[in-house]
Amino acid sequence: MDKTQVMVYFSLFGDEFPIDEVTKRLGITPTLSYKKGDLIPRRNSLHPHYRKETAWDLSSGYQESYDVKEQMDQVLGPIKNQVTVINQLKEDYKLECKFFIVIIMENGDTPGLYLDNEQIEFASRIKAEFDIDLYANPYDGIED
């Protein structure tokens, strides 16, 4: 049986910037990074797509979860004391930042989506936005 999964990731992104320098200044290895112009891996290689920006991401990865706050805390842990560094990187390289929350609901099981004051304050201090994607896979649990 498939279970509901949640992934949260933080992304610093912009036109072009030195990913290695961001990693060094933050002291954190990204879970994913890519450069503008990199080929996006796809099943259909007849129409290749290329990255339109450079990005440095820190992700929880997909996890079975019924509480988004758990994955949010996992991502925030390493960066929560990096407000000054993140803001300086944004200024130095004209970067933006965003938290992505991806929820894949299975069998009608929906997780709680709650952000606490600490999480909201951190996002505000670095001027990060939130992007929330919800995917509800079909299920037979509908009663008449």
Give residue-wise pLDDT tens across range 5-33: 999 999 999 999 999 999 999 999 999 99
Q: How far apart are CA 8 and CA 61, in angstroms?
A: 7
Higher pLDDT, 132 or 110: 132
pLDDT above 60 (res 107): yes
Q: What's the pLDDT band for 42 if we cut at 50, 70, 90?
A: confident
Average pLDDT of the chain, as a whole number: 92
DSSP state of 63: E
**What was the pLDDT predicted at 58?**
98
Q: pTM score > 0.95 for this model? A: no
Q: Report the pLDDT averaged over residues 107-124.
A: 91
Q: How far apart are CA 141 and CA 144, in angstroms?
A: 10
Q: Report the pLDDT averaged over residues 107-113.
A: 86
**What was the pLDDT predicted at 141?**
56
**What was the pLDDT predicted at 144?**
44
**What was the pLDDT predicted at 109?**
85
